Copies of this chain bind each other. A is one copy, B any other.
């Protein structure tokens, strides 16, 4: 009986929570009214249409009952019923099903949320095997939405299942006539202020203490008015709280809000900086892993496709939480009609398409590919409607062509965009093949081949020995991005890849990457061609640079040439930069995939390889999660040891292959 799950119209759960989360952003603004000037927390609207859920649902299932059973429909709305073989029943009423074939239709409506259903039964238990009917009848029916988080009849899918932990500040200091609370590292949650009566307080928050103390410029603030001696804020992110004009510090703590993540992954080595970095990356991920993968926890707390695409990879080497990946993909999808790119960004739509094959390849979860496939086709239709007549990407007036916070020759059709589009077609063609959609497979594969060929024909500049941003502008501008993708996605010859390494990656005249975002791709590409030193050097200099400045989480952007609070400035705001940004957590992926050396070679780790590389380390030990168990790898000067909970693996070491058997330690003597 315990196999039942709450079900809903596909996507309703994700769109409901997405709608709420995308409208929770605030920013502190200076407001003058009635002769008084104060700093107030003001609503900050999402930059795209924040789709909500469908408020009606109609789901059906036809099945054979092999012995009499009685079921009861539960719902979160009184506006619901079950139609059993054309007879209608209200909720909370026993329904007898005799032996034989039955068809049940569940109908519901909820104006302020979304309708959800729950039935326990031997056959008619609710799960994704129910399908949509009515308004989707001409389209292929879609499977019901469900979540592993909501499996009990007492659950309420409209309340997201966060956990809470009371967390006190590690220090409170009097400063400038006020009080500065330090929580030791970035936290997220509901601030609880306790005091006397009905006083009002202004709380200036900061990821840095400079921000918290700079009350006229802090990015996030809380206007707290006590009721009966207590105030509880909305959930906010900060490390420091400063309350000006406060002689006696108040009792303040935070109800730390988080989604517990599985923690079988690990990495430890002889380099303490790297060990610290891994933990800091893990914590950065923890804070940003919620309804979906967020970009950063302080400022917008939105779900961005490019950012999420990287979080997926980190997740496959950290928590291996399939549910959050699926939720994020649905949140980003939104609903029809698609009138703009995902997050309004062209490359972000392409990453969305890429992410589905990657998800399948790591998890082996064909159900989800099947569930999201119609959406994938709709997104592709949107994309293809906007391509140039030659089938290549071109910028439309309302497209945001992002790629990275960097300077590109980007007015024309950018090479890096073509590269991600090309990769997207590869993902579609593989998904289509998986689901037996031969015409789509052929179409997408042909587009993949064509775009790859055109990238090489149009964008390669022999003079520069590199791909240029734009073949039309005549500027022959070289940036790292397209060249990184050419290696990472294997879009060009070995010969050209070698030229790129020399002329671009190791060329200090080519503007370096300043975001951990694109640093991920650069390091992934370099590791892929076996240049691990470039990666470990960058972990030390770039990520290490943030740690040496006291970072407790990874930043959105880091420019080592800046000083002091210059580091916190972005988008024209003194403290607008996010100091806890998920896209900085890639070392977890890089170390798991290339140091521990664990990766699937068939979908869902049915087959996998372990190809450990000691790199610049003296020794390391770590674990990588898979759908069905953990793989632990250790490497020191004498031994490489692998202990895996799953079959199907091959250890590759010094040109030799060793079979990995489940739960049997494989120990290879290196001497």
Contact = CB atoms under 8 A, between A and B. Distances in A.
A23 interface: yes
A89 interface: yes
Given A23-B111, A88-B29, A337-B337, A43 B80 contact: yes
A562 interface: no
Contacts of A79: 23, 43
B336 A337 contact: yes
Interface in A26-57: 27, 29, 31, 33-34, 40, 42-50, 52, 54-56
B136 A339 contact: yes
A603 interface: no
B135 A88 contact: no
Contacts of A89: 29, 31, 42
A107 B48 CA distance: 12
Interface in A82-127: 88-90, 93-94, 107-109, 111-113
Contact of A45 (B29, B54, B107, B138): B107
Contacts of A44: 81
A558 to B, nearest CB: 28
Interface string A7-37: 0000000000001100100010101011000
A137 interface: yes
Contacts of A78: 43
B109 A43 contact: yes
A56 B55 CA distance: 16
Contacts of A395: none
B43 A137 contact: no
A112 B47 CA distance: 20
A397 B137 CA distance: 10
Given A19-B55, A93-B33, A88 B42 contact: yes
Contacts of A462: none
A528 B47 CA distance: 55
A81 B45 contact: yes
A285 to B, nearest CB: 28
A214 to B, nearest CB: 19
B58 A45 contact: yes
Nearest to A57: B45
A138 B90 contact: no
A55 B58 contact: no
A18 to B, nearest CB: 11
B94 A33 contact: yes
Nearest to A48: B135
Contacts of A134: 45, 47-49
A398 interface: yes
A619 interface: no
A56 B20 CA distance: 11
A139 interface: yes
A55 B45 contact: no
A340 interface: yes
A238 B34 CA distance: 55
A31 B46 CA distance: 47
Nearest to A335: B337
A48 B136 CA distance: 10
| Leading 9 A-B pairs by shortest Cβ distance | A112-B112, A49-B135, A45-B107, A23-B109, A336-B337, A138-B398, A42-B90, A43-B81, A52-B55
Given A23-B79, A135-B339, 14 more contacts: A19-B111, A23-B109, A31-B93, A33-B94, A43-B78, A43-B80, A43-B90, A45-B107, A46-B56, A47-B134, A50-B56, A50-B109, A112-B112, A138-B398
24 contacts: A19-B55, A23-B111, A27-B88, A29-B89, A31-B89, A33-B94, A40-B90, A42-B81, A43-B90, A44-B81, A45-B56, A45-B81, A45-B108, A45-B109, A45-B134, A49-B134, A49-B135, A50-B55, A52-B111, A112-B113, A135-B340, A136-B339, A138-B340, A139-B339
